[in-house]
Structure 1
Amino acid sequence: MKACIALEDGTVFEGVSFTGPGETTGEIVFNTGMSGYQELLSDPSYKGQIVTMTYPLIGNYGFNEEDMESERVQVEAFIVREYCPFPSNFRSQGSLAELLQKYGVLGVEGVDTRALTRHIRQAGAMKGVVSTEDLDHASLVAKAKAAPGLVGRDLAREVTCREPYVWTSKGPVAGTGFAGADPGRYKVVAIDYGLKYNQLRLLAAHGCQVQVVPCQTDADTILAMEPDGIFLSNGPGDPAGIAGVTDTIRELLGKKPIFGICLGNQLLSLAYGGRTYKLKFGHRGINQPVKDLLTGKVEITSQNHGFCVDMASLDENEVELTHINLNDNSVEGIRHRKMPAFSVQYHPENAPGPRDAVYLFERFVQMMS
């Protein structure tokens, strides 16, 4: 089934659907990972985005329910050079096409993904449309231009949990007040802006009982749970577009240790009084080099973000730069000089990706102790 991919600047690519008919819009971005497509697909940070893989062959190990990073596939559409319809892996429970079809997500192959990626790197990430139903180029470009972008959108409220839950070895269980959570020395409230399950797994592995709450939960409710620490998760879209959450974080600052990841890093920076800006094409992959300025060590990291913190907007007497990206020197981590709060822009939960940054969970536990 023929498919067309149209960008808002008028560029059009053609391919073939391997999941059936459909049409969708979103911001078209690329990911440089050679593996980990299932974790990518189920990462809520990709809400509102059409993802292109730079590695040419995708789908060879299928999928399994255990490796899902949220309750469903989150991307708007998935574009690959060559789809493998016959997965071979002892953990596989089905094909990539079956996973996408289960959640009604369009998958397209046969696309010149190298040319598409090069175009995005030169022109920047932009709005696009993928369709098997409308193959008229002019019509598709018009739809791409009319599609909502990411700037100013509150996507976190679309992917956050609807009700609080506790994290257990068997997964999420509805409840509040840490009742039913696996045993742990420290109690952590995780604010869900679009979190990945492996963040909760690693908190639990480091001796934490974890209570997850929706992103709109107010500070009084969180503090009433008497946590030892507060975790700010990753999530999709523009941090400046999420109404009210920075006020909540500001109320929590100084009262409990805070650890933020990705969107959590950006929201913490806004709470400090800083600004964020949109990167040209973002950082998405599992091979980004980051330097820890506190130790001098270089980590290979997993990343997925299109926005970044403007360090110049923060008071250097209050906030310290702790990590930088060695590709473009963008901000990858900060900490407050006077209050127990730190955050990183990348994903230390290593699902998928390297394990270089797991020490950050240990740093959070040390802060709580």
Structure 2
Amino acid sequence: MEGSLILANGEKFTGQWQGNPKDHIGELIYFTGMARFQEFITDPANKGKVVIATFPGILNSDLDPSKFESDQIQIGGLITQQDVNMPVDVKGINVLDLFSEQNIPVLTSMDTRALIKRVKKEGEMPAIISSKYTVNRLSAQMEDIYANFGTEHIIPKGHKHIVVINFGYKKSLIHSLSQSGHKVTVTSGHIDISLIHSLKPDGIIFSGGPGNPLEWQKFFPDYKKLAMKYPTLGLGLGHQILALAFGANIEKMPAGHRNFKEAVIETDSQKVFMSNQNHGYTVNEKNLKQYGFRVSFKNVHDGTVEGLVHEQYLVVTYQFHPEQVHNPLNELIFNHFFKTVNESKGASVYA
């Protein structure tokens, strides 16, 4: 049967509906990768988003659950040019079967080129994906994506105690931490600062996650207090939240960085690295020095801020993420953080 995608600007696109009838409204973004599809659709940073896949054979992707970034699909809908009447050759889990099992709508035979042009021109925007061909406007509300996660003792024993403030962490983060030999506790972004202190952390990680970091602003004073007291690492959304907590500003990007090979340059060494990114906001570089930060990484293509170091407190943040695969940035991120954790125990963090 036919289904439709209605953009916030009023335009409607039609395609072939796959799955159970339903409506879903979410931010419309695009994914240009020909690989790493399973990591992308299970990344909590994509919770609720409607994704345009530019690769025409995306439904032929092999899905390996061991590489999923969470236990389920996070995106709210998939748009693809691929025609399901053509043979779909997969060795592992069938993409359409998995989406159907989790009741995630898919629109096939879509004009993805025209859609990408709209997004690149007008920016990422809300859109509704609907099985009702008669729907002609956005009439629903975007679902709440700011979950209140509980406290979990992920790794109960280890040399040092790392507390992860959870805004929607990826499995690859826990995978990296599990190899470090440290105790790991995950706690909610809806923070209870007395609880965090009672855990007696040796270091704190602000995880990545979905959405606008300003949604967490009522907790900014407590986030700042924690970062001033303990060695702190921010990743993805956590990078933006920490910058905001210290007084910096963010900007909405017309089209976000959603790539597993996004080029970043380290400002001190001038070395270029390929990074894993998935975000639609960026930290504004203006007045960062006023808030105690210096820029440690920038994006090669558009010059946006990719990393920060605080000059007074043990706070280091990155817009990019560690990965499950071997990556030089993994070592850079964690070697620096764990070195700081080991050296700061028992000493004042204040400069």
* Unmatched tracts of structure 2, length 5 or more: 343-351
Alignment match of 1:357 (pick from 318, 326, 329): 329
- One-letter code aligned to 1:206: S
Query: What are the ranges of 5 or more consecutive residues in structure 1 without an aligned counterpart?
Result: 169-180
Which residues of 2 match residues 287-326 of structure 1 at below 5 A?
Answer: 287-316=261-290, 318-326=292-300
Q: CA deviation at 1:87?
A: 4.6
Shift in Å, 1:166: 2.4
CA contact (8 A) 2:35 2:61 kept: no
**Contact persistence 2:248–2:291 (CA under 8 A):** no
For residue 175 of structure 2, what is the aligned residue in structure 1?
A: 201
Q: Tell me the residue number matched to 1:229.
A: 203
Cα separation, 2, equivalents of 1:155 and 1:130: 18
Which residues in structure 2 correspond to 1:81-120 (within 5 Å)?
A: 81-82=81-82, 86-89=88-91, 92=92, 94-120=93-119
Task: Give the deviation of 1:86 after TM superposition.
Answer: 4.0
Residue 155, structure 1, aligned to residue 145, structure 2: yes
| 2:80 and 2:110 in contact (8 A); partners too | yes
| Matched residue SS, 2:225 | helix
Amino acid at match of 2:323: N
Q: Distance in 2 between matches of 1:253 and 1:357?
A: 22
- Residues 317 and 96 of structure 1: CA distance in aligned 2, closer, same or farther (over 3 Å): closer
Mapping for residues 217-366 of structure 1, pairs under 5 Å = 217-316=191-290, 318-347=292-321, 349-350=322-323, 355-358=327-330, 359-366=332-339
Q: Give the match for residue 176 of structure 1.
A: none
Match of 2:154 among 155, 163, 167: 167
- Equivalent position of 2:345 in the other structure: none
When residues 341 and 355 of structure 1 are mapped into structure 2, their CA distance, relative to the original with a 3 A threshold, is: same
The Cα offsets for residues 39-65 of structure 1, whole Å up to 9 and x where unpaired, read as 211111112311111222113244233
Q: 2-side partners of 1:313 and 1:14: how far apart?
A: 46
Corresponding residue of 1:42: 42
Do the aligned partners of 2:295 and 2:305 also contact (CA within 8 Å) in 1? yes
Q: CA deviation at 1:30?
A: 0.6
- Give the 3 Å change call, closer, same or farther, for CA 216–299 of structure 1 in structure 2: same
**Secondary structure of residue in 1 paired with 2:60:** coil
Q: Which residue identity does 1:155 align to in structure 2? A: I
| Structure 1, 299-308 or 13-22: larger mean CA deviation | 13-22
Amino acid at match of 2:60: N
In 2, are the aligned partners of 1:300 and 1:354 still within 8 Å (CA)?
A: no
In the alignment, is the contact (CA less than 8 A) between 2:20 and 2:103 conserved in 1? no
Query: Could you tell me which residue of structure 2 aligns to residue 135 of structure 1?
Result: 133
TM-score when normalising by structure 1: 0.86
Moved more, 101-110 or 228-237: 101-110
For the pair 1:15 / 2:15, whether they are aligned, the reply is yes
Q: Output the aligned Cα RMSD.
A: 2.1
The one-letter amino acid paired with 2:113 is R
Q: Deviations over 1:147-167 (max 9, x none)?
A: 446xxx97332xx53x21122
Displacement of 1:354 after TM fit? Answer: 7.3
1:20 CA drift (Å): 3.5
Q: How many residues align?
A: 339
Change (3 A) 1:83 1:249: farther
For residues 122 and 354 of structure 1, do their structure 2 counterparts lie closer, same or farther at Cα, with a shift above 3 Å needed? farther
Contact 1:322/1:335 (<8 A) preserved: yes
Q: 1:68 to 1:317 in 2, by over 3 A?
A: closer
Q: Percent sequence identity over matched residues?
A: 27
TM-score, length-normalised on structure 2? Answer: 0.90
In the alignment, which of 142, 158, 162 is matched to residue 188 of structure 1?
162
Contact map agreement 2:48 2:77 (CA 8 A) in 1? no
Equivalent-residue separation in structure 1 for 2:117 and 2:223 (angstroms): 38
Output the CA distance in 2 between the equivalents of 1:255 and 1:78.
43
CA shift in 2, pair 1:317/1:10, >3 Å: closer
